[in-house]
Amino acid sequence: MPWWHGHSQVDPGTKIGQLVMIGFAGLTPSAEALRLVRDYRVGGIIYFARNVQNVRQVAELSDSLQQAAREAGTLPLWIAIDQEGGMVARITDGVALMPGAMALAAGGVPEAAYRAARICGEELRALGINLNFAPVLDVNNNPRNPVIGVRSFGENAESVAAFGAAAVRGLQDAGVAATAKHFPGHGDTETDSHLDLPVVPHGRERMFAVELKPFVAAIAAGVDCIMSSHIYFPAFEERKLPVTLSPSVLTGLLREELGYDGVIVTDCMEMHAISKHYGTVEASVMAIEAGADAVLISHTYELQVGAIEAITAAVRSGRLSEERIDASVRRLLALKEKRGLLQNGKPAPLDERLAAVGAAEHLEAAAALSLAGVTVVKNDGSLLPFAAQPTLVLAVEPAVVAMVDDELDARHTLGGALAALGCDVQELAIPLAQTSVLRARALELAAGYEQIVVTTYNAHFDAEQQALVLDLLALGKRPIVVATRNPYDLLAFPDVPAYVCTYESRPLALRSAAQVLAGRAAARGKLPVSVGANYTIGWGVTTDAR
């Protein structure tokens, strides 16, 4: 009986190549990427913003990569992306960009996560992308978490499980493989694993009650892939090994105890939690030993080739058995077959596929989902909806705050969204790095206004933003603060009279916030996390439209 039904001629080199996914820079396939497809038979490609110009170019890129695989006589490629929605999305223009996890959860209905994921999946599939590294199933119960935050559905494990399972079903109903990440949970950390090795010290009972609950639900929902985290969990591993390199976690916990038989993919092996401590190449062999099916190496050609050659050498030396390799390739090819990659049919005409991308009904759904999540946490003195009078907007511009972020477009502002609604607005844009320099100018302008709106961006991490808001309060002003990323900013200035959370600074979120501020739409969102003792999960002040 052939080792894989229908693919008995898969050679050892192709088998090993299938275990590796790579990234490259550029809008067209690089020579190095084509060499990895042709000569090393890699299993897949990951896109980042560096690979994206517009939706037509992305679709053409996908087609050209698959054509290269066909011409090389190798298997069709996974083409993957981190299209979580909200603040982590590699394609933002020309698509119906959905709100992120926390914004969806603020709407309170898990069906919203299904709807957002289904539309996202349909558009990705039209662009030739068949694997999404989403949803994030981390339970964000640590306000100091520097990398998860609004990428999570919240701090309640049951809610994260419900929204996460819905998102898994939505993507996979659209024909795109979903990935539950970052197993077994990156929510309760204060270290970014892109930069170093975090440790989560909780015991097994706590882990099963909180962190693992969403992953158990995703497994029950039939999730195609689970991504391992580069985090050390002493409850499951005696040696100080990150999950990605731990047989006790990947094989013992995930495979044997939780009964998962889908694909396990690693987070990027060039992240410092791995590369600084173990080296990307050696760690790639260790990850396969531990039970991973695919290693992700997103950037460096030499490391990508080095990992493939190291895995090959490990098989030749007996360190990795052929049976171990075959077990992973079976899972990978079974999933490629399930998602239609092995049918070798020609894709539909490009214009026909692109007609579904950014369609009007998709944009309308995104707008409704975004508006449903806008959360008014405080409205002392009924400042909202605000009065029809001159308004000063002090807009702290978003910036890259974690390595998972891409550069953000500062052209879209809350002041611009309010002006588009006919409001009388003056806006001072404040780049994050210049908050201290522009604070005096902001206060000078504020002296001439009774109605002031301040947008903040992770101000609970930033003393300069905090000082700006506190200075306004000291002047006797009553600022309306709109938090455009993490909702915890209120902890730094609890006396502001009005506080609104949008959970993201994308143009759609700013338009939704403007509608609520100006009274064009009601606020109905509820907090998916606690913001101090006074504003717990489920809290939200309802405002009405005029």
Positions annotated as catalytic residues are 194, 267
Please give the sequence-ordered ranges of beta strands (E in DSSP) within 174-322, or none if there are none.
179-183, 225-228, 263-268, 294-297
Burial class (CB in 10 A: 0-12, 13-18, 19+), 151: buried
The amino acid at 167:
A
426, β-bridge pairs: 392
* Cα dihedral sign, 121-124-126-131: negative
CA distances from 413 to 438, 439, 493, 510 (A): 17, 18, 22, 7
Task: Tell me the C-alpha distance between 222 and 11, whole Å.
Answer: 30
The amino acid at 130:
N
376, β-bridge pairs: 500, 541
**SS3 for 227?**
strand
* Cα dihedral sign, 504-115-356-27: positive
CA distances from 184 to 59, 173, 233, 258, 471 (A): 33, 24, 9, 11, 42
Question: Any idea of the CA torsion for 244, 288, 406, 53, to the nearest 10 degrees?
Answer: -160
Element (H, E) at 254: none
Of 473, 532, 527, 538, the residue nearest 502 (C-alpha): 527
Encoded tokens for 9: 């001629």
* Cα dihedral sign, 428-476-511-406: positive
Of 42, 118, 38, 542, the residue nearest 359 (C-alpha): 118
Task: Tell me the C-alpha distance between 427 and 414, whole Å.
Answer: 9
Neighbours of 36 (CB within 10 A): 24
> Computed over its alpha carbons, how large is the radius of gyration of the chain?
24
Task: Tell me the C-alpha distance between 433 and 254, whole Å.
Answer: 43
- What are the residues whose beta carbons fall under 8 Å from the beta carbon of 313, sequence distance 6 or more? none
Of 190, 198, 233, the residue nearest 215 (C-alpha): 233
